Structure 1
Amino acid sequence: MNEKMGFSLLELTFVIVVLSVLAMFAIPEYTKTHREAKVAVLTDLRGKLTNAVDTLKTASNIASRKQIINGQTYVQYDVKQYYLVSGQLLHPTEICHILGLTSGPLVEGTTITSSDGMYTCKNVSPQQSWIRMNKLESTDCALSYTAHYNNESIANVEIKLTGDCLE
């Protein structure tokens, strides 16, 4: 009674080759899908930020929602929070604050990581701030908020994905 136990070297080699070919196609597809999902999260944040900016613009027309502190105008957006505005539009330092990613406004030139560690926010200048999703593989994708001024008030804002985002 001479029974064979186990697999031959040829059978093992065949299985390894088949698994390698499958991995060759599956891994890049998984990475692409994973990256697209993260860019979709930034796209969702863009929609939320656009909605918040529009709501805040409307709220800035209501005198009871305005508050002036140290010469700067703040507008109540929700029940508990006031946000810095310039004219009727959200100031760039407030983009992560209004989305709930940070507990307060950004300081110019400082990078802040959100409390959950998933996002990084930065106020680059009085005209621009951005949000990046941390650990976004092989991409330099960010949600950019750029303010265009007329005199000392923001005349309009541009909210868009920048870098090599998939759109």
Structure 2
Amino acid sequence: MNEKMGFSLLELTFVIAVLSILAMFAIPEYTKTHREAKVAVLNDLRGKLTSAVDTLKTASNIESRKQTINGQSYVQYDVRQYYQVAGKLLHPSEICHILGLTTAQLVEGEAVSSIDGMYTCKFENFKTSWIKMNKLESTDCALSYIASYSNESITTVDIKLVGDCLE
């Protein structure tokens, strides 16, 4: 009844070597896939923002949905909320507000975390805003909203991923 229990040092070394080789390939793939998933979320936000801008542009053609407060133009996008516009397009201070990431429009130059803490939103100036996903491996990836003006009305907006994003 003299049975040998356990593993030899050679067997353990072999198992550790095999696991190390597997980890060498698996960890970078996991990190890449994880990052791609986060960039896909930003792409999803881009689609939602584009849709919201188009819907708001349509709503701005309906007189009953327009409102002027303190000299600023606002349009009712849904039954709950008015959003600031410049002409018929969304004002850059409203990008996170219209997506439901913040409860109010942004203040110029101030970065704000979203309600759930997953995003950071910033209204840079009267024509540029961006949204970054927190804890994204590349901090240079952001969803930008750039408005082009004629007089005080926005004529076009460019909504795109900028920086070090995988596309």
- Would you say same fold, with TM above 0.5? yes
Aligned length: 167
Q: What is the percent sequence identity of the aligned residues?
A: 80
1:130 alignment counterpart: 130
2:117 alignment counterpart: 117
2:14 counterpart SS class = helix
Is the Cα contact below 8 Å between 1:92 and 1:127 reproduced in 2? yes
State TM-score, norm by structure 2.
Answer: 0.98
1:111 & 1:138 partners in 2: Cα distance? 18
1:57 alignment counterpart: 57
RMSD over aligned Cα, in angstroms?
A: 0.7
Q: Are residues 1:101 and 2:108 paired? A: no
Q: Deviations over 1:57-109 (max 9, x none)?
A: 00000000000001111000001000000000000000000000000000000
Gaps of 5+ in 2: none
Deviation at 1:139, TM superposition (A): 4.3
Deviation at 1:2, TM superposition (A): 2.5
Q: What letter is aligned with 2:37? A: A
1:48 alignment counterpart: 48
Aligned runs of 1:1-167 on 2, under 5 Å?
1-167=1-167
State TM-score, norm by structure 1.
Answer: 0.98
2:125 & 2:48 partners in 1: Cα distance? 22
2:138 & 2:19 partners in 1: Cα distance? 25
1:124 counterpart SS class = strand
Gaps of 5+ in 1: none
Moved over 4 A (4+): none
